[in-house]
Amino acid sequence: MTVTAHTSIAAVIGNPVRHSLSPVIHNAAFVANGDDWVYGAFEVQAKHAAAAIDAMRILGVAGLSITMPHKEMVMAALDGVSADAALVRAVNTVVRSEGKLIGHNTDGIGCVDALTNAGADLSSVAVIGAGATARAVIAALVKVGAQVSVVNRSPARLADAVAVGNMVRVKSTIAVEQEAVGECATIINTTPLGMAAIAPEALPFDVQVLSARHTVLDAVYHPLETALLCAARARGAKVVDGLDMLCAQAARQQELWLNRRPDVALMRRAALAELAKLHG
Protein backbone atom coordinates (compact mmCIF):
# COMPACT_ATOMS: atom_id res chain seq x y z
CA MET A 1 0.00 0.00 0.00
CA THR A 2 1.39 3.39 -1.05
CA VAL A 3 -0.09 6.41 0.70
CA THR A 4 0.09 9.76 -1.07
CA ALA A 5 -1.51 13.16 -0.75
CA HIS A 6 -4.31 11.85 -2.98
CA THR A 7 -5.10 8.78 -0.86
CA SER A 8 -8.63 8.72 0.55
CA ILE A 9 -8.79 8.34 4.33
CA ALA A 10 -11.35 6.23 6.20
CA ALA A 11 -11.40 5.33 9.88
CA VAL A 12 -13.33 3.95 12.82
CA ILE A 13 -14.20 6.06 15.86
CA GLY A 14 -15.16 4.64 19.23
CA ASN A 15 -14.01 4.25 22.82
CA PRO A 16 -12.22 1.94 23.34
CA VAL A 17 -11.09 1.26 19.79
CA ARG A 18 -7.41 0.28 19.90
CA HIS A 19 -8.38 -3.40 19.96
CA SER A 20 -10.38 -3.04 16.73
CA LEU A 21 -9.69 -5.36 13.80
CA SER A 22 -11.47 -2.98 11.42
CA PRO A 23 -8.25 -1.35 10.10
CA VAL A 24 -6.81 -4.76 9.24
CA ILE A 25 -9.87 -6.07 7.42
CA HIS A 26 -10.64 -2.85 5.54
CA ASN A 27 -7.04 -2.27 4.46
CA ALA A 28 -6.75 -5.88 3.25
CA ALA A 29 -9.77 -5.32 1.00
CA PHE A 30 -8.49 -1.95 -0.24
CA VAL A 31 -5.16 -3.52 -1.24
CA ALA A 32 -6.80 -6.54 -2.89
CA ASN A 33 -9.06 -4.30 -4.96
CA GLY A 34 -6.40 -1.72 -5.83
CA ASP A 35 -8.21 1.11 -4.06
CA ASP A 36 -6.24 4.24 -3.18
CA TRP A 37 -7.74 4.23 0.30
CA VAL A 38 -6.27 3.73 3.76
CA TYR A 39 -8.14 3.02 7.00
CA GLY A 40 -7.19 3.94 10.58
CA ALA A 41 -8.66 4.11 14.07
CA PHE A 42 -9.35 7.12 16.28
CA GLU A 43 -10.18 6.78 19.96
CA VAL A 44 -12.82 9.43 20.61
CA GLN A 45 -14.41 10.16 23.97
CA ALA A 46 -18.20 10.11 24.08
CA LYS A 47 -18.41 13.85 24.70
CA HIS A 48 -16.54 14.47 21.43
CA ALA A 49 -18.59 12.14 19.20
CA ALA A 50 -20.40 14.94 17.39
CA ALA A 51 -17.17 16.93 17.05
CA ALA A 52 -15.61 13.94 15.30
CA ILE A 53 -18.24 14.27 12.58
CA ASP A 54 -17.31 17.95 12.20
CA ALA A 55 -13.66 16.88 11.93
CA MET A 56 -14.60 14.41 9.19
CA ARG A 57 -16.29 17.23 7.32
CA ILE A 58 -13.39 19.66 7.72
CA LEU A 59 -10.56 17.21 6.99
CA GLY A 60 -12.24 15.57 4.02
CA VAL A 61 -12.28 12.08 5.53
CA ALA A 62 -13.85 9.87 2.88
CA GLY A 63 -15.64 7.31 5.06
CA LEU A 64 -16.22 6.66 8.72
CA SER A 65 -17.18 3.62 10.78
CA ILE A 66 -18.88 4.24 14.13
CA THR A 67 -18.64 1.82 17.03
CA MET A 68 -19.57 1.85 20.73
CA PRO A 69 -20.60 4.06 22.35
CA HIS A 70 -21.11 6.58 19.53
CA LYS A 71 -23.71 4.98 17.24
CA GLU A 72 -26.57 7.07 18.59
CA MET A 73 -24.56 10.14 19.60
CA VAL A 74 -23.35 11.07 16.11
CA MET A 75 -26.76 11.21 14.46
CA ALA A 76 -27.59 14.84 15.25
CA ALA A 77 -24.30 16.00 13.70
CA LEU A 78 -24.97 14.39 10.30
CA ASP A 79 -26.65 16.00 7.30
CA GLY A 80 -29.03 13.06 6.98
CA VAL A 81 -29.52 9.37 7.73
CA SER A 82 -30.81 6.45 5.67
CA ALA A 83 -34.26 5.03 6.35
CA ASP A 84 -32.72 1.94 7.99
CA ALA A 85 -30.54 4.00 10.32
CA ALA A 86 -33.45 6.29 11.21
CA LEU A 87 -35.63 3.28 12.05
CA VAL A 88 -33.11 1.74 14.47
CA ARG A 89 -31.83 5.13 15.68
CA ALA A 90 -28.19 4.15 15.25
CA VAL A 91 -25.46 4.83 12.70
CA ASN A 92 -22.37 2.68 12.16
CA THR A 93 -21.30 4.07 8.77
CA VAL A 94 -20.93 7.60 7.42
CA VAL A 95 -20.83 8.18 3.66
CA ARG A 96 -20.01 11.33 1.68
CA SER A 97 -22.81 11.92 -0.82
CA GLU A 98 -23.01 15.05 -2.97
CA GLY A 99 -21.09 17.07 -0.38
CA LYS A 100 -23.19 15.84 2.54
CA LEU A 101 -22.46 13.36 5.33
CA ILE A 102 -25.11 10.64 5.44
CA GLY A 103 -25.42 8.01 8.16
CA HIS A 104 -26.19 4.37 7.44
CA ASN A 105 -26.35 1.16 9.44
CA THR A 106 -24.79 -2.10 8.17
CA ASP A 107 -24.88 -4.04 11.46
CA GLY A 108 -28.21 -5.69 10.74
CA ILE A 109 -27.63 -6.67 7.13
CA GLY A 110 -24.10 -7.80 8.04
CA CYS A 111 -25.54 -10.12 10.67
CA VAL A 112 -28.05 -11.51 8.18
CA ASP A 113 -25.27 -11.98 5.59
CA ALA A 114 -23.13 -13.92 8.09
CA LEU A 115 -26.04 -16.18 9.07
CA THR A 116 -27.10 -16.73 5.47
CA ASN A 117 -23.55 -17.67 4.48
CA ALA A 118 -23.55 -20.22 7.32
CA GLY A 119 -26.82 -21.75 6.13
CA ALA A 120 -28.76 -20.74 9.24
CA ASP A 121 -32.52 -21.19 9.45
CA LEU A 122 -33.90 -17.64 9.67
CA SER A 123 -37.57 -18.57 9.94
CA SER A 124 -37.50 -18.06 13.73
CA VAL A 125 -34.75 -16.12 15.49
CA ALA A 126 -34.16 -15.16 19.12
CA VAL A 127 -32.20 -11.96 19.76
CA ILE A 128 -30.56 -11.48 23.16
CA GLY A 129 -30.23 -7.78 23.94
CA ALA A 130 -32.04 -4.57 22.98
CA GLY A 131 -29.33 -2.01 22.31
CA ALA A 132 -28.33 -0.31 19.06
CA THR A 133 -26.87 -3.46 17.51
CA ALA A 134 -29.89 -5.54 18.54
CA ARG A 135 -32.33 -3.06 17.00
CA ALA A 136 -30.44 -3.12 13.71
CA VAL A 137 -30.31 -6.92 13.71
CA ILE A 138 -34.02 -7.24 14.51
CA ALA A 139 -35.04 -4.88 11.70
CA ALA A 140 -32.85 -6.68 9.16
CA LEU A 141 -34.13 -10.10 10.22
CA VAL A 142 -37.76 -9.04 9.91
CA LYS A 143 -37.05 -7.66 6.42
CA VAL A 144 -35.93 -11.12 5.26
CA GLY A 145 -39.06 -12.75 6.69
CA ALA A 146 -37.99 -13.92 10.15
CA GLN A 147 -40.24 -14.17 13.17
CA VAL A 148 -38.18 -12.62 15.97
CA SER A 149 -38.27 -13.19 19.73
CA VAL A 150 -36.40 -10.67 21.89
CA VAL A 151 -34.95 -11.14 25.38
CA ASN A 152 -33.70 -8.27 27.54
CA ARG A 153 -33.53 -7.46 31.23
CA SER A 154 -34.79 -3.86 30.89
CA PRO A 155 -38.54 -3.84 30.15
CA ALA A 156 -38.40 -0.38 28.55
CA ARG A 157 -35.55 -1.24 26.17
CA LEU A 158 -37.16 -4.58 25.43
CA ALA A 159 -40.43 -2.92 24.43
CA ASP A 160 -38.52 -0.45 22.26
CA ALA A 161 -36.64 -3.20 20.40
CA VAL A 162 -39.85 -5.19 19.83
CA ALA A 163 -41.54 -2.06 18.49
CA VAL A 164 -38.75 -1.59 15.92
CA GLY A 165 -39.36 -5.06 14.50
CA ASN A 166 -43.11 -4.53 14.37
CA MET A 167 -42.67 -1.24 12.55
CA VAL A 168 -41.00 -3.20 9.75
CA ARG A 169 -43.69 -5.90 9.72
CA VAL A 170 -46.71 -6.08 11.99
CA LYS A 171 -46.77 -9.05 14.38
CA SER A 172 -43.25 -10.07 13.40
CA THR A 173 -41.55 -9.49 16.76
CA ILE A 174 -42.41 -10.45 20.32
CA ALA A 175 -40.84 -10.25 23.77
CA VAL A 176 -40.07 -13.57 25.46
CA GLU A 177 -38.45 -14.84 28.63
CA GLN A 178 -34.90 -16.16 28.43
CA GLU A 179 -36.14 -19.76 28.87
CA ALA A 180 -37.98 -19.57 25.53
CA VAL A 181 -34.99 -18.91 23.26
CA GLY A 182 -34.57 -22.61 22.49
CA GLU A 183 -37.90 -22.56 20.64
CA CYS A 184 -36.21 -20.55 17.86
CA ALA A 185 -34.01 -22.13 15.21
CA THR A 186 -31.34 -19.42 15.44
CA ILE A 187 -30.15 -17.50 18.50
CA ILE A 188 -28.10 -14.27 18.41
CA ASN A 189 -26.26 -12.69 21.33
CA THR A 190 -25.85 -8.92 20.87
CA THR A 191 -24.90 -8.22 24.50
CA PRO A 192 -21.31 -7.76 25.76
CA LEU A 193 -21.59 -10.89 27.92
CA GLY A 194 -18.64 -13.09 26.98
CA MET A 195 -16.36 -10.20 26.02
CA ALA A 196 -12.82 -10.62 27.30
CA ALA A 197 -12.65 -7.31 29.14
CA ILE A 198 -16.17 -7.49 30.60
CA ALA A 199 -17.43 -10.98 31.49
CA PRO A 200 -15.47 -13.65 29.59
CA GLU A 201 -17.11 -16.64 31.30
CA ALA A 202 -20.66 -15.28 31.28
CA LEU A 203 -23.41 -16.95 29.28
CA PRO A 204 -26.36 -14.82 28.05
CA PHE A 205 -28.82 -17.74 28.37
CA ASP A 206 -29.02 -21.34 29.57
CA VAL A 207 -27.20 -23.38 26.91
CA GLN A 208 -28.99 -26.55 28.00
CA VAL A 209 -31.78 -25.57 25.57
CA LEU A 210 -29.40 -26.00 22.61
CA SER A 211 -29.20 -28.97 20.28
CA ALA A 212 -28.03 -29.82 16.76
CA ARG A 213 -31.08 -28.07 15.28
CA HIS A 214 -29.84 -24.65 16.43
CA THR A 215 -27.50 -22.03 15.00
CA VAL A 216 -25.89 -19.62 17.49
CA LEU A 217 -24.24 -16.33 16.50
CA ASP A 218 -22.28 -14.33 19.08
CA ALA A 219 -21.63 -10.72 18.04
CA VAL A 220 -18.67 -10.66 20.46
CA TYR A 221 -15.40 -11.32 18.62
CA HIS A 222 -12.87 -10.79 21.42
CA PRO A 223 -12.31 -13.58 22.25
CA LEU A 224 -13.18 -15.23 18.95
CA GLU A 225 -14.25 -18.44 20.68
CA THR A 226 -16.54 -17.10 23.40
CA ALA A 227 -17.86 -19.17 26.28
CA LEU A 228 -21.25 -19.20 24.52
CA LEU A 229 -19.89 -20.53 21.23
CA CYS A 230 -17.81 -23.15 23.01
CA ALA A 231 -20.84 -24.37 24.94
CA ALA A 232 -23.08 -24.25 21.84
CA ARG A 233 -20.60 -26.30 19.81
CA ALA A 234 -20.36 -28.86 22.61
CA ARG A 235 -24.11 -29.36 22.39
CA GLY A 236 -23.99 -29.91 18.64
CA ALA A 237 -25.26 -26.50 17.52
CA LYS A 238 -23.87 -24.73 14.45
CA VAL A 239 -21.91 -21.63 15.50
CA VAL A 240 -21.15 -18.33 13.78
CA ASP A 241 -18.54 -16.13 15.44
CA GLY A 242 -18.47 -12.37 15.80
CA LEU A 243 -15.67 -12.05 13.26
CA ASP A 244 -17.97 -13.34 10.52
CA MET A 245 -20.49 -10.63 11.40
CA LEU A 246 -17.76 -7.95 11.67
CA CYS A 247 -16.38 -8.78 8.23
CA ALA A 248 -19.82 -9.00 6.63
CA GLN A 249 -20.92 -5.60 7.94
CA ALA A 250 -17.53 -4.11 6.94
CA ALA A 251 -18.00 -5.43 3.41
CA ARG A 252 -21.37 -3.68 3.32
CA GLN A 253 -19.64 -0.47 4.47
CA GLN A 254 -17.19 -0.64 1.58
CA GLU A 255 -20.09 -1.22 -0.77
CA LEU A 256 -21.55 2.09 0.42
CA TRP A 257 -18.23 3.93 0.06
CA LEU A 258 -16.98 2.41 -3.21
CA ASN A 259 -20.02 0.82 -4.92
CA ARG A 260 -18.54 -2.67 -4.78
CA ARG A 261 -18.57 -5.34 -2.10
CA PRO A 262 -15.19 -6.89 -1.29
CA ASP A 263 -14.38 -10.55 -0.62
CA VAL A 264 -15.55 -11.29 2.93
CA ALA A 265 -13.41 -14.44 3.10
CA LEU A 266 -10.30 -12.37 2.32
CA MET A 267 -11.19 -9.91 5.08
CA ARG A 268 -11.64 -12.75 7.56
CA ARG A 269 -8.28 -14.29 6.62
CA ALA A 270 -6.58 -10.94 7.22
CA ALA A 271 -8.21 -10.65 10.65
CA LEU A 272 -7.24 -14.21 11.62
CA ALA A 273 -3.64 -13.55 10.58
CA GLU A 274 -3.59 -10.44 12.77
CA LEU A 275 -5.05 -12.36 15.71
CA ALA A 276 -2.42 -15.05 15.24
CA LYS A 277 0.33 -12.40 15.44
CA LEU A 278 -1.20 -10.85 18.54
CA HIS A 279 -1.70 -14.13 20.38
CA GLY A 280 0.97 -16.28 18.77
- 175 and 266 share a domain? no
**Eight-class DSSP state of 211:** -
CATH no. for residue 164?
3.40.50.720
What pLDDT band is residue 17 in, cutting at 50, 70 and 90?
Answer: confident
Q: Could you tell me the residue range of the domain that residue 210 belongs to?
A: 108-240
CA dist 47 and 234 (Å) reads 43
**What is the 3-state composition of the chain as percent helix, strand, coil, each rounded to the nearest 5?**
45, 20, 40
- 256 and 211 share a domain? no
- 183 and 130 share a domain? yes
- List pLDDT tens digits, range 245-255: 999 999 999 99
Is 47 a catalytic site residue? no
- 89 and 149 share a domain? no
Q: Is residue 118 part of a domain?
A: yes
- List pLDDT tens digits, range 158-205: 999 999 999 999 999 999 999 999 999 999 999 999 888 788 899 999
Q: Is residue 112 part of a domain?
A: yes
Q: How many helices (H) and strands (E) does the chain have?
A: 9, 12
What H or E segment, with its residue span, contains residue 94? strand 93-97
Catalytic residue among 47, 71, 171, 277: 71
- 125 and 25 share a domain? no
Q: Is residue 218 part of a domain?
A: yes
- 151 and 235 share a domain? yes
Q: What is the pLDDT of residue 199?
A: 84
Name the average pLDDT for the chain.
96
What pLDDT band is residue 280 in, cutting at 50, 70 and 90?
Answer: low
